[in-house]
Amino acid sequence: MRDVEVASARMEWASGPERLRRVRRGLDERRVAAVDRASRAVSAELQRRTGPDFLLRDLAEVYADVERWAPYVVDTALHGLVLPEAEAPIVDSAFERHARHARDGRD
């Protein structure tokens, strides 16, 4: 994974929290709870995939494969609710939070 690819992934992650806030604002309590549950599920999956000791490059490699596993994790956590507008913000926001724990992620 090249530095430019890591930087590009980080830019995508950086917009996640604000996009997720915007999505949450338009939802009822039940859907907000489901989105929060999905966010925790993606975070747990990231922890499982990276372990406790990882670099941003490792996290970007997980992100490169995100379309293979994240939809399943999010859909499972949503318990049947269909919120397609929430999936990318949930995922990017989880990656943004997880990046702070990378050995080299503390800017």
Task: For residue range 43-78, list pLDDT tens digits in order.
Answer: 999 999 999 999 999 999 999 999 999 999 999 999
pLDDT at res. 3: 87
CA–CA separation, 26 and 10 (whole Å): 26
Say yes or no to pLDDT of 99 above 80: yes
**Mean pLDDT (whole number) for 26-37:** 96
**Mean pLDDT (whole number) for 85-106:** 94
pLDDT at res. 74: 97
Which pTM does this prediction carry?
0.93
Residue 53, number of CB atoms within 10 A of its CB: 9
The number of angstroms, rounded, from the C-alpha of 20 to the middle of its chain's C-alpha atoms is 10
